[in-house]
Amino acid sequence: MPEITFFGRNPTKGLDLPSVLKISKKNQMKAKLTSLVLVFCWVASEVNAQAPLVLQSLDYTENPVDIPNPDRGPYRGRWQRVATHFGTTPEVDHLVPVDAHDVLFHGATLVGLATLGTVEGDDIEETQFFNGQNISPNYAGGTGVSALPSISFMGFDLARFSSNAFLSATGALAYQADGLFEDPVSGAPRTGKTQPLTNYALDYIRGLLQKVRDGNGVAFVKFSYDGNGFNYLEPSRYPHLNLREGLIHGPEPAYVTPNNPSAMCDVPGYTDKDWIEYHLWQLKPIFHEFEDIIMCVKTGMLGPWGEQHSSPMALDPEANKKLFDTFLDVVPDSRLLLTTQRVFLSWYNLTYGTTYTVIDSIPVPPKGSPEARWGYFDDSYGSNYTNSGRYRTPDDRYRFFNWIHSQNTMTQIEGGIGDNIFGHMPGAILEAQQFRITAANMRHGNYSRWSDFIYNEANVTTPVTFPASASETSPPFTGPTKTAIFDPVYDGRNGLEYMRDRFGYRLVLREAKASEWVERRGTLAFEGKIQNVGFGNILNRKNVSVILKSKAGSNAYIARTDLDARDWLADEGGNGRPDNTAAWRDLNFSVAMSTLGDVPAGNYDIYLKINDPKEKSTNKRCIRFANKGNSWNADLGANLIGSTTVR
């Protein structure tokens, strides 16, 4: 019988089948066939042999430091209070140019002295949280707590494309004085001009988003027609003038005024769209082109700063529905749309023929439905109990954030840390957990209310009694009494450090067991546990891939797993303690070695890589675990989870 070699070994060598089986010569062929069956059974058993799973020598404890990750955390925002030819403004969006002759306006994007014309790409540098003081010229810092943001705030002001939008605070003040849309002396327009977005404007927007892609951040995108608040005069910005606070004019080009006689687009073939719909249709290719780096889209477009309040269109339910429908169409369905409770309620009632007056009456949206794409932005987080009129009573607030929590969406806040139970620790912890706060503007609001708080068990577990009426100051408070959960990992640090690290998701590897060895044609097995200790969850789909990297060289082999990182949910009760094993989620996978390619025999480290399915780079915007130890490989953009031997 000829020798048969498999993997360098011959299982039949020295085997005399006729003598062993005591069979006749006539049946030797049958015996040889039997031997081949035995051989192939042996081969199959070798290939499918499973090595024992071995606990890996890793540090499974959390490191209480800033871990920048995509789609979550603090962002810098664009804030200034300096006099410019555009007028004084506290919030700054990129004023999109019509052509090369337009003066660019980016505002104070650097920490320290405010400057005009600074673009950077965009705000991804270490920054200290603002303490509410030293507004001019320094609008940042003072808390002693820093973070490296991974979110770029990309606000685009389309004022130059709306005849209703003022181009500067100076022009708005002059309009208030004489009621003219043009300067009576120079004839210079005080507003933009309703028109299509030019190719120059679209390329400008692409260029700034490309800066984000070239960096290592994601874009929080907002478009509006009054991104700098020029249509809404705030007396605090001009203390020397006797101003009434409020909207001067509706900034939207779909709002009919003497300066904007038609709401409808006049471009041939698109006259069925109003100007807002047409502008968003023009932006649709950009939303899809940069899907890989867009974290979410704020549905702006209506009202001052795109905050969807005050203007006639912002208060019109039909306009709210049309706007939200348009965003649902133009933004890839992989991305959340941030809007307000009122806009979403208007859209839902008009879409489904309901008459809900409070949002928690709406059933929790099923996965994949249009309403499941809704997230919440809060431009004045915790400023008072009723949040500047956004809720009629604190009871409305509780009902709202309980619904938000059940929906498993995200909340973005613009600061505005209130001097009340919601804004101070430890009540702020309970609020953040319920609202699932994902992103926060670190340059807006008095964050010293959190940095001055010593995070220890006695302080954190002090019971908090919330109000049950709209009164902010008058006892008795008869609302619910709650107690936050103390996490010993942050014992002795300050509250702002804890909050900074808990925005959005935060992943800690708690256990890792991997195949001690694996055959080249076998299957690599891994079983582990991971804990999400953040306020929120991973909301955008991620690829979860395993990488084998040679310990003896630079060769690496990668294959997708069937894991879904969105399943790694935070504890519903906000318990991120390491001893809360009930909140440890399974991290189990098996990968056929053939899917990794032709992996040579040798010793390998096992890495887990988590990134967006459309990511174009090899190692940017990847999720890093918050474990102690040197387990992060920046070149791979992956986390070390063990080692194995391929043989």
CA angle 367-368-372, nearest 5°?
65
Q: Exposed/middle/buried for 313, CB within 10 Å: 0-12, 13-18, 19+?
A: buried
> pTM of the prediction?
0.88
- CA–CA separation, 38 and 120 (whole Å): 68
- Alpha-carbon separation of residue 511 from 290, 324, 364, 611, 642 (angstroms): 36, 43, 33, 21, 10
Task: List the beta strands (DSSP E) in 275-383.
Answer: 294-298, 336-339, 374-378
With b meaning 16 or more CB within 10 Å and e meaning fewer, what string describes 358-384?
ebbebeebeeeeebebbbbbbbbbbbb
Tens digits of residue pLDDT in 532-556:
999 999 999 999 999 999 999 899 9
With cut-offs at 50, 70 and 90, classify the pLDDT of residue 480: confident
pLDDT of residue 298: 96
Residue showing tokens 């405010």: 114
H or E element in which residue 557 lies = strand 556-560
Beta-sheet pairing, 543-550 with 602-611? antiparallel
Tens digits of residue pLDDT in 241-289:
888 888 999 999 999 999 999 999 999 999 999 999 999 999 999 999 9
pLDDT of residue 274: 98
Mean per-residue pLDDT for 64-87? 78
pLDDT reading at 209 higher than 50: yes
Nearest alpha-carbon partner for 97 in 208, 174, 188: 208
Under 8 Å between Cβ of 499 and 518: no
